[in-house]
Amino acid sequence: MTENLVLVDGDDRPVGYAEKRLCHASRGMLHRAFTALLFDDAGRLLLTRRSPDKMLWPGKWDGTVASHPRDGETFVSAAERRLPEELGVSCTLEYLFKFEYHVSDGHRGSENEVCGTLIGTITSAPDPDPAEIVQTKFVSPHQMNVADSMEYCPWMLLALALLPRAHMSGSYHISEWTSSRTSDTMLQMTGRHMSDDDWRLVP
């Protein structure tokens, strides 16, 4: 089924629509996306391994769920739709911030996105759709190493690096993830994928 994504300018203002594969081909077209990071009560992040059939970053570890809002959806409403579809769970999500980034996956294509970052607490066991997610695991920051940077999706690493800049209203036990030490590590890992000139926070 054809899926059209929302094209945006650098200020995240809609400027049109384009088919999903076209948005990710070659250098890509700037479009709207989100990444949702779910943590358990112990402050561990739920990572998901992408299906090997994914167009970009197949088989790599991602934040809990990443996808694209449809026309008329907010970042939160889009993620609330996708969480049950991809992971078989639902939860309350909080919007934190958005960033623009551009990164290539070699011959496969590129991500060129304004990406909204969301956070939530997972309280039930995931039941992933194998067409989307082939493995899950909970991790603490010390389990993610710079040497393994290329095993992780770059947008997830960047979102984690920016967490200390977020203002969170919920009760999350993620102090390890918001430390300057963890942020520096995530920025180093992001730097294995793209330069500092390839991303920025969007107001």
Domain boundary assignment for the chain: 4-198
Task: Give kind and range of the element (H or E) at residue 185.
Answer: helix 180-191
The single residue of 113, 132, 151, 176 carrying the catalytic annotation is 113
The pTM (predicted TM-score) of the whole model is 0.96
Separation CA 177–CA 186 (nearest Å) = 10
pLDDT digit string (tens) for the chain, length 203 residues = 689 999 999 999 999 999 999 999 999 999 999 999 999 999 999 999 999 999 999 999 999 999 999 999 999 999 999 999 999 999 999 999 999 999 999 999 999 999 999 999 999 999 999 999 999 999 999 999 999 999 999 999 999 999 999 999 988 999 999 999 999 999 999 999 999 999 999 99
Provide CATH code, domain 4-198. 3.90.79.10
Residue 85: what pLDDT?
A: 97
Name the residue among 43, 28, 41 with its Cα closest to residue 155.
28
Catalytic site includes residue 85: no
